[in-house]
Chain A
Amino acid sequence: MGRLKFATVWLGGCSGCHMSFLDLDEFLFDLAARADVVYSPVGSDIKEYPEGVDVCLIEGAVNNDENLEAAKTVRDRTRLVVSFGDCAVSGNVTALRNTIPDGARMVASRSYLEQADLNPMIPQAEGIVPTLLPLALPVHAVIPVDVYIPGCPPPADRIKAVVQQILEHGTAHLEGRQLKMG
């Protein structure tokens, strides 16, 4: 097997999963020895998601139209898609707004109008500021997902277990306490 084309993306999440990824510490060197990070908010400075990616870890729920487009792009260009962390797996905290009727409008209004100290307004810029979807959804609700890593955030050893399995077997599957959500 040649060098793995490895990517991570960050959708509607807090970036905690990516922070946990950085907790892989010295394993990051092992990974770097066998993989090229071709796209990642914490590992590369490439703006366009490339073609022919082997593995992509997706953090976060699908929360706005930009997230939706990104998820579809990842699916089209990636062999193995991994739901990375509880927001990607279940919607988690990002999806808390789903319980509120008309949640998308309500959270925007809460954040940008009610809580604003200065100049209260809901940011709007066609094509620049993404629009919230009616519901924040887990990744597998919009594209097929191959591997799931629950956890909020998934601890580093869990991420390592998955990445190692992928390096060795081309895919991964967690079991037992490694599946604990939260």
Chain B
Amino acid sequence: MAVKTLTIDGTLLSAREEQTVLQAARDAGIAIPTLCQLDGLSTVGACRMCLVDIEGTGRLLPACTTRVAEGMVIHTKTERLQSYRRMIVELLFAERNHICAVCVANGACELQDLAIEVGMDHVRFDYLHPECSVDISHKRFGLDHNRCVLCTRCVRACDEVEGAHTWDVAGRGTAARVITDMAQPWGTSETCTSCGKCVQACPTGALFIKGMTVAESRKDRSEIGFLVTAREKKQWVV
């Protein structure tokens, strides 16, 4: 096992060579905000919340997809990064209809937590107020596009862990939507196994279990990581 030494926010630390900057930082107790990343799933570097400044690269790189290297000097909390992160969260709030007060995930939402983390006291951009549908055709679960941030955690959980690939993304730009099967009502999907991994993986209230109150709707987002660790390492630990 080769070890690399690197500096994150002034702390000299060592990491295994196969680790990403995000993993190395977390092991060292340095928190980097993330949204599309979820332990147990592949990384896609899409949300750009975990962008870090690595000296000498001349550009910002996502901590979740960047491997550690010897001698890296990384800054995770520069003023510039903080301002970008706040803007990204504001863009998400402006993009769909995220109304915490009437959301099933109120108090258990990663987007809401991120807003708090980046110090978002208001959104500086125009709200787009798109017309979004809600799909409650599935027997147990619901999908509310108003609350979706397109992190694709559901898509990856379904494809990589459950192996069903019921979910995917259709359309492009801000009109992109997660879909089930051939963009048909979830309840009519022939590939969905109703396992609910997508619901557990969802960071917001976009995917939810029907009939649950806000207080009951506490997702176990570590379930995916637990399953994958158990499967790959035969370690049944959280």
Q: Which of B123, B127, B132 counts the most A-chain CB atoms under 10 A from its CB? A: B127
Minimum C-beta distance from B134 to chain A (A): 11
Given that A91-B127, A141-B126 are known contacts, is A86 also in contact with B121, CB under 8 Å in the complex?
no
Say yes or no for B129: interface residue by CB 8 A criterion: yes
Say yes or no for B176: interface residue by CB 8 A criterion: no
Contact of A89 with B121 in the complex, beta carbons under 8 Å: yes
**How far does the alpha carbon of A92 sit from the alpha carbon of B103 in the complex, in Å?**
11
Contact of B131 with A182 in the complex, beta carbons under 8 Å: no
Say yes or no for A68: interface residue by CB 8 A criterion: no
Say yes or no for B119: interface residue by CB 8 A criterion: yes
CB 8 Å contact bits of B114-149 with A (1 = contact, 0 = none): 011001111100110111100000000000001000
Contact partners of B179 in chain A: CB under 8 A: none
Q: Which of A135, A150, A177, A181 counts the most B-chain CB atoms under 10 A from its CB? A: A181
Say yes or no for A152: interface residue by CB 8 A criterion: yes
**How far does the alpha carbon of A173 sit from the alpha carbon of B115 in the complex, in Å?**
15
Minimum C-beta distance from A144 to chain B (A): 12
Say yes or no for B71: interface residue by CB 8 A criterion: no
**How far does the alpha carbon of A83 sit from the alpha carbon of B101 in the complex, in Å?**
16
Helix, strand, loop or mixed for chain B's interface?
Answer: loop
**How far does the alpha carbon of A175 sit from the alpha carbon of B101 in the complex, in Å?**
19
Contact partners of B130 in chain A: CB under 8 A: 99
**How far does the alpha carbon of A177 sit from the alpha carbon of B93 in the complex, in Å?**
17
When C-beta atoms are compared, the residue in chain A nearest to B113 turns out to be: A180
Minimum C-beta distance from A174 to chain B (A): 6
Say yes or no for B230: interface residue by CB 8 A criterion: no
**How far does the alpha carbon of A135 sit from the alpha carbon of B99 in the complex, in Å?**
16
Say yes or no for B34: interface residue by CB 8 A criterion: no
Say yes or no for B163: interface residue by CB 8 A criterion: no
Q: What band does the interface of chain B fall in when counting residues whose beta carbon is under 8 Å from A?
A: 20 to 34
Q: Which of A91, A152, A174, A179 counts the most B-chain CB atoms under 10 A from its CB? A: A179
Minimum C-beta distance from A99 to chain B (A): 5
Say yes or no for A132: interface residue by CB 8 A criterion: no
**How far does the alpha carbon of A175 sit from the alpha carbon of B107 in the complex, in Å?**
17
Say yes or no for A96: interface residue by CB 8 A criterion: yes
**How far does the alpha carbon of A98 sit from the alpha carbon of B101 in the complex, in Å?**
16
Given that A83-B122, A180-B116 are known contacts, is A99 also in contact with B97, CB under 8 Å in the complex?
yes
Contact partners of B132 in chain A: CB under 8 A: 99
Contact of B120 with A179 in the complex, beta carbons under 8 Å: yes
Contact partners of B102 in chain A: CB under 8 A: 93, 96
Say yes or no for B65: interface residue by CB 8 A criterion: no
Contact of B106 with A182 in the complex, beta carbons under 8 Å: yes
Contact of A138 with B131 in the complex, beta carbons under 8 Å: no
Minimum C-beta distance from A18 to chain B (A): 16
Contact partners of B107 in chain A: CB under 8 A: 182
Contact partners of A180 in chain B: CB under 8 A: 100, 112, 115-116
Say yes or no for A107: interface residue by CB 8 A criterion: no
When C-beta atoms are compared, the residue in chain B nearest to A135 turns out to be: B129
When C-beta atoms are compared, the residue in chain A nearest to B105 turns out to be: A182
Kindly list 19 other residue pairs between chains A and B, CB separation below 8 angstroms, not including A152-B100, A180-B112.
Answer: A86-B100, A89-B121, A90-B93, A90-B123, A90-B127, A93-B102, A96-B102, A148-B121, A148-B122, A173-B121, A176-B116, A179-B115, A179-B116, A179-B121, A180-B100, A180-B115, A180-B116, A182-B103, A182-B107
